[in-house]
Amino acid sequence: MYVLNFYSPLFADQLKRGRKQATIRLGDKSHKYKKGHVVMVTIGTEHSPREKIFNAVIDSVEVKRLSDLSPREIELDNPEFRRLDDEKRFLEQIYARDIADDDLVTVVRFSEIIERPAGIVERMRGDAGHQN
């Protein structure tokens, strides 16, 4: 199993409440994350204990220039942001370096895996509430 780790404990609440549904990572990470991979979403710093938040499936992996990020992608990464400038400053803090608008980023969208969600099979078949 792969791990999708977040260093900041600020993200724990956003992840647990389903408000954070993507991560934007600097550089081309398409070799590391693949659509359909199951990952363990964790919070913690390197060489320290990490807290498992949940397991998730990667829904999409898209590499693009920072300047091509949409407001929706920015919001899925950090629900407090909508503007490119906010995301850029945030990434500069995380990576401790200047970032240019034409730098590549990878947008990884993911969905929490819920153990046995009620009625999901019926909803997917479109026959909720109907007997066979």
Report yes or no on 85 lying in a domain: yes
- Report the pLDDT value the prediction gives residue 123, as an integer from 0 to 100: 72
Contact (Cβ atoms closer than 8 angstroms) between residue 83 and residue 10: no
Nearest to 79 by CA among 131, 37, 17: 17
Query: What pTM value is reported for the model?
Result: 0.84
**3-class secondary structure, 56:** strand
Give residue 42's domain range: 2-125
Report yes or no on 130 lying in a domain: no
Report yes or no on 132 lying in a domain: no
**Structural domains in the chain (count):** 1
Q: What percent of the chain has pLDDT over 70?
A: 90
The answer to whether residue 86 scores a pLDDT higher than 70 is yes
Report yes or no on 7 lying in a domain: yes
pLDDT tier at 130, thresholds 50, 70, 90: low
Q: What would the pLDDT profile of 30-55 be if each residue is shown by its tens digit?
A: 999 999 999 999 999 889 999 999 99
CATH number of the domain encompassing residue 53: 3.10.400.10
